[in-house]
Structure 1
Amino acid sequence: MKHSLLRLSGEKKIIVNGMIMMSDELTFAGQKHEIRGNDDKSGWTVSDATLTSNSAMITTSVETVLSKLIFSLPSSLSSYSTFISSSSHLTLSHCVLSLQNYSSELSFLFLSIESETLAIASFSASSITLSGNPLISLCGSGSKAESMIIKWLNMTNCNFTEIERTTGSGSCVSIDNSDDENSNAEINIEECDFDGCSVFADESRGGAIGVQLKGSIQMNIISCTFTGCTAPAAEEKTGFGGGMALKLIDDYSTFIISSPVFDFDKPNIARYGNDLFVESSNLTKSITNTSLPFVSEHLDDISLDSMRGFDGNDTTNAIPLVYFWRAIGTEIFIGSEGCDVCVCGFSDYPCLSMDHSLARLAEGNERNVSIKGKGYLQKSVDVSGISV
């Protein structure tokens, strides 16, 4: 049975000033609670040696505000399942997660959310290596759940520095509702900084943020900074999206990534998609000026390896997303180094086969196919009016 150092279920407003030591479970009655530290020195210091990996530091089933607190653990405790477990609206404001005494990998979940709404503002965490769960999961008690309960998340002005995860995807924020048929939610992450956040597992997605969406989910990532974040890039491991990775399982989920900041002096790194990787059942529908409004303005500055994605069931060709902003005119290129995907046909990204390239070639008075090296023909085609 789980126990908590602080369990909120009653009718009082709790204000905490300064550092406190807790060793017994506390129970309060109330409709709304606020736990707040002062401006100079604030936080929870856990010293109870009887804590087990089944414990939750704070469990709340009523609307709760946690403000100006420092969450920390003693160096003798190597594992802690959950810091905060909430089944009602939770506001986390100006709090710090500090685990500076640790040098080994930890397995814990900072937030276990089983409520429909969550607000996180000015939260910071740094220098943490996780061997199990991500730092923040929106799917209840783990990185994946059969039903995503949350309907609204607003995360603003948060700072994550050197958060590392040795398993799974998304070291800071991980969302996976791929088994849920009825999700309906809005998720907003705005003006947050992710510096040196990484995942190390093979096939992992999203150094800082890893998302798999199904159903009517609107994901907005606005004015966030990603620097030095990584997913595996070595030959023996494959990672997707050094900064962030999104997988849209059906046509109902949508996303907007607006005004991101990627530092050229401290770049993000992944095997595919250094900054962003997007998987979609229909990549042409997902990658637009609406979903990535910053691309058209900075197209000349975005490298082919910055953003890549998979289209439909094709997980062989990691398509450079910048080609969705380029147009095929009356000339198309094919060659043995090409691939037959939805945006092929450019001189630096040719198609593989003649028939696929002709299907992409725009109508015009003069239509030209340029073959670089060797091209392929998979079926008979009509080449009348076409110069090869």
Structure 2
Amino acid sequence: MLFIFAIIINEADYMLIQLEDGRTVGIENSNGDITYISHAHSDHARKGRIFSSKETFDLLYNNFSQKITDHKSHLSADFIPISDKSIELHPAGHILGSTQIRFTNSHTVVFTGDMKLRDSFTSEKARILDCDELHIDCTFGHQDFIFPDIDVIADRIDRWTRTRLMTGQNVIFGAYSTGKAQELIKILNDYSNITPIVDNTIEQKCKVYEKHGVRLERAEIGSEKANEIMKDKFVYIIPFHLVNRNSENWFKIQYKQVSFALVTGWALRYKYKYTAFPLSDHAGFSEILEYIDSARPKEIICHYGNAAWMASYLKSKGYNAKTESEWKLYSKSSIIESVKESSSSTNNSSEIKAVMQSIAQTG
């Protein structure tokens, strides 16, 4: 049986889990013999041989159908002969199929990927995982970001949308195509009894959600159903980046009375030109603290977004916390010292060579 031998971080700040025989499990965008993908957003995905949940693979397949050479939803003897408890996947609460990964040997490491602890209409709630070393999503790791409950946001969206429709306006929402758009559709379905029109890109993701049991009432733009809905006032969801001055002008020429809105967690900090609702699929400040206090890690590594602020805050409260870059420097120096100690008592060790090779390859 193989166990985790070393945790290495490369120059791009991504982790590699090195096993005793020298093979590696890459974390997200890193190059390993197989790469773990936490969820199906493009900034976390890569091509090649991947290890993920089935839902994540299905969502990624839309983008990388010719580039994913192999997919595994678990690591078994045909790749790495490890025990079931050595590497585990658990729900992360970010989007459909999002996962956290936990590595267990004498030292337990959790990498949350993007995660949230709040309830969701379209994804399974994250579990808090006990560990020694916690790599945690700090995209919104700042006191500015304490998100309202999903029911509160859903009620605000419902009231704003129905008011606009009743006053003769069409409504255009901007939302990220994977995750946020489906959450918004579910809110409009269940709170407002509205079937929204959706962009073609969003429709492709919705089909995957429905395949995995999430029912979403919508009409794809250009379909007979959508054309019928658009004879009256309607709600149309398009990708977030398409809500801009050009699209605003086009919609107003075509449909006269139009109101625009965005759904984004950044609405708690930034003022947008359009109405913006703080619907986020990331953990806020209080959730990050809840996870840390429940998991009780000995070491915390803050990733993404507001990681520097969050690490500084945690240090001020007595936690052993680092940013990614701080941890990278510390990890490499620690591994090198460990190798030096081992080399003084072990001759021609293949394990030492493997670690030194990995350090050299990753900078």
TM-score normalised by length of structure 1? 0.22
The structure with the greater share of residues assigned to strand is 1
The structure with the greater share of residues assigned to helix is 2
Tell which structure's C-alpha radius of gyration is larger: 1
Larger RCO: Structure 1 or Structure 2 (Cα < 8 Å, ≥ 6 residues apart)?
2
TM-score normalised by length of structure 2? 0.23
